[in-house]
C-alpha cells in the first residue's frame, strides 16, 4: 500500500504543514525547553490546550461511528464543571487556607456521574424513543446550559481550592496532567477496541445497523453505552477546563465545543456516515484545530478578524483533505501540462 493511501496520511500531512508554517513565521515555535521542572514550549502548550478537545472528540468519534451525533457535549462540559465547583465550594478559613466543602474525590466523582447520566439520557432518547440523534441531543444542548445556570443562579463560581487546579494546570513527570488524562483515555479506548470485539461491533452497527441486529449484535445496548461514554468524556473535559480557569462558567464553559469536536473527528478521517472511524485521526484532528488557534494568536491576527481567518483556514484544510478536490487539481494540472 502506498503511504498516501494510509488513512492517517492526509490528516498528519495537514498537521505537519501547519506546524511548518508556524515555524516559518516564528523560528522558535518548535523549540521545547525544560523550565520550572516541566516541559515548556509552544508545542507543549498546543498539546495541553488541545487535551479537553481530544477527550471530547474521542467520545464523539465513537458516537459518529454508530451513525449518531452528540451536540450536547458543550452543555455537559458546563454541567460537570458546575457540579464540581459547587461541591468543592471554597471558603476561606481563618488561617487563609481554603477548604473544600466535600472531599475532592467526591466532587469529581459526582461531576462525572452527572455527566454519564446526561449521556444515558441522550442514548435512551436515541435508542428507545427512536429520535434523530441531532434532535435528541439538541434537547440537552439547550436544557443542559439552562440547568447549569439554575444551579449557579447565573453566577460564575470561582474555585479557590488549590488541589483542584492540578487537573488543568499541573504537571506530572514534566508533562501536563491534562495530557496524561487524554493519553490515558486514548490508551483505554485503544485497548477496548483491539482486545475486545467492541471495534468490530461498532463498525458493523455504523456500517449497517439492521444487518448488525440480524447478526445478533446487541446494537441498542452498545449504542447506549457509546452515548454514555461520550458524555462521560465531556464531563472529564469539563473538569479539565474548569480547573484550568479556576472557575465554572455555566454560560461559556465549553461553548461551541460540540462543533470543534465534530470538526476534529471529520478532519481525522472518520466518516460522518458511520462505520469507518479512527481514534488516532481524531487526536490529530484535535491537534490541527488547536494548532490553528495557536497560530492565529502567534501570528498576531487582530481579534476582530480571528474567526474569519480560522474559518478560511478550516476551509483550506478541508479542501486539502478532500480526495475529490485533490483529483480536480491534479487533473487541471495535468490538463494544463498537456496544453502547454
d(CA 182, CA 285): 14
Torsion of CA 63, 66, 68, 72, to 10 degrees: -20
What are the Cα distances from residue 79, in Å, to 37, 149, 171, 221, 231?
A: 34, 9, 25, 25, 11
In 89-132, alpha helices (H): 104-127
Q: Is 214 in the site for another protein (CB under 8 A)?
A: yes
**What is the nearest approach in angstroms of another protein to the Cβ of residue 194?**
9
**What is the nearest approach in angstroms of another protein to the Cβ of residue 67?**
12
Q: Is 208 in the site for another protein (CB under 8 A)?
A: yes
Which of 196, 252 has the CB closer to another protein? 196
Tally Cβ neighbours within 10 Å of residue 72: 28
Which residue in 135, 211, 299, 307 binds another protein (CB under 8 A)? 211
Containing H/E element for 310? helix 306-321
**What is the nearest approach in angstroms of another protein to the Cβ of residue 136?**
21
Which of the stretches 166-174, 203-211, 229-237, 312-320 binds another protein when contact is defined by CB under 8 A?
Answer: 203-211
d(CA 211, CA 245): 47
Q: Is 191 in the site for another protein (CB under 8 A)?
A: no
Residue-level length of the chain: 340
Which of the stretches 88-96, 191-199, 252-260, 310-318 binds another protein when contact is defined by CB under 8 A?
Answer: 191-199
Q: Can you read off the three cell numbers belonging to residue 211?
A: 444487518
Is the CB of residue 285 less than 8 Å from the CB of residue 180?
no
Which of 211, 307 has the CB closer to another protein? 211
Which residue in 49, 67, 145, 203 binds another protein (CB under 8 A)? 203
Which residue in 6, 35, 218, 331 binds another protein (CB under 8 A)? 218
Which of 204, 267 has the CB closer to another protein? 204
Which of the stretches 181-189, 204-212, 232-240, 289-297 binds another protein when contact is defined by CB under 8 A?
Answer: 204-212
Is the CB of residue 267 less than 8 Å from the CB of residue 11?
yes
Residue 227 DSSP SS3: helix
**What is the nearest approach in angstroms of another protein to the Cβ of residue 308?**
35
Which of the stretches 76-84, 107-115, 116-124, 189-197 binds another protein when contact is defined by CB under 8 A?
Answer: 189-197
In 154-278, alpha helices (H): 166-169, 177-195, 198-207, 209-214, 219-245, 257-267
User: What is the residue whose three cell numbers read 472557575?
Assistant: 247
Q: Is 200 in the site for another protein (CB under 8 A)?
A: yes
Which of 3, 256 has the CB closer to another protein? 3
Binding mask 33-62 for another protein (x = CB under 8 A): ------------------------------
Which residue in 168, 176, 254, 275 binds another protein (CB under 8 A)? 275
CB-count exposure of residue 295 (10 Å: 0-12, 13-18, 19+): buried
Residue numbers of the site for another protein (CB under 8 A)? 195-198, 200-201, 203-204, 207-208, 210-218, 275-276
Amino acid at each position: 500500500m502506498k503511504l498516501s493511501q494510509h488513512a492517517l496520511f492526509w490528516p498528519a500531512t495537514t498537521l505537519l504543514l501547519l506546524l511548518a508554517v508556524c515555524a516559518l513565521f516564528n523560528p522558535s515555535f518548535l523549540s521545547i525547553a525544560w523550565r520550572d521542572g516541566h516541559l515548556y514550549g509552544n508545542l507543549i502548550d498546543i498539546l495541553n490546550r488541545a487535551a479537553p478537545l481530544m477527550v471530547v472528540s474521542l467520545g464523539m468519534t465513537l458516537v459518529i461511528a454508530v451513525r449518531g451525533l452528540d451536540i450536547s457535549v458543550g452543555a455537559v462540559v458546563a454541567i460537570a464543571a458546575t457540579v464540581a465547583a459547587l461541591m468543592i465550594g471554597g471558603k476561606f478559613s481563618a488561617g487563609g487556607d481554603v477548604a473544600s466543602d466535600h472531599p475532592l474525590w467526591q466532587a469529581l466523582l459526582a461531576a462525572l456521574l452527572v455527566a454519564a447520566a446526561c449521556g444515558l439520557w441522550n442514548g435512551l432518547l436515541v435508542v428507545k424513543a427512536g429520535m434523530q440523534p441531532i434532535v435528541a441531543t439538541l434537547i440537552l444542548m439547550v436544557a443542559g446550559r439552562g440547568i447549569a445556570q439554575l444551579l449557579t443562579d447565573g453566577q460564575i463560581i470561582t474555585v479557590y481550592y488549590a488541589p483542584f487546579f492540578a487537573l488543568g494546570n499541573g504537571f506530572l513527570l514534566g508533562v501536563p496532567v491534562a495530557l496524561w488524562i487524554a493519553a490515558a483515555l486514548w490508551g483505554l479506548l485503544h485497548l477496548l477496541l483491539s482486545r475486545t470485539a467492541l471495534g468490530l461491533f461498532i463498525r458493523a452497527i455504523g456500517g449497517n445497523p439492521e444487518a448488525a441486529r440480524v447478526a445478533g449484535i446487541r446494537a441498542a445496548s452498545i449504542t447506549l453505552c457509546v452515548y454514555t461514554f461520550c458524555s462521560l468524556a465531556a464531563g472529564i473535559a469539563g473538569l479539565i477546563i474548569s480547573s484550568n480557569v479556576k472557575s465554572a462558567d455555566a454560560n461559556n464553559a465549553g461553548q461551541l465545543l460540540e462543533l470543534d469536536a465534530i470538526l476534529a473527528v471529520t478532519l481525522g478521517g472518520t466518516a460522518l456516515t458511520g462505520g469507518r472511524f479512527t481514534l488516532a485521526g481524531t487526536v490529530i484532528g484535535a491537534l490541527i484545530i488547536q494548532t490553528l488557534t495557536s497560530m492565529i494568536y502567534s501570528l498576531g491576527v487582530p481579534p476582530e478578524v480571528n474567526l474569519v481567518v480560522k474559518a478560511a483556514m478550516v476551509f483550506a484544510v478541508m479542501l486539502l483533505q478532500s480526495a475529490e478536490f485533490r483529483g480536480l487539481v491534479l487533473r487541471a494540472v495535468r490538463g494544463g501540462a498537456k496544453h502547454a
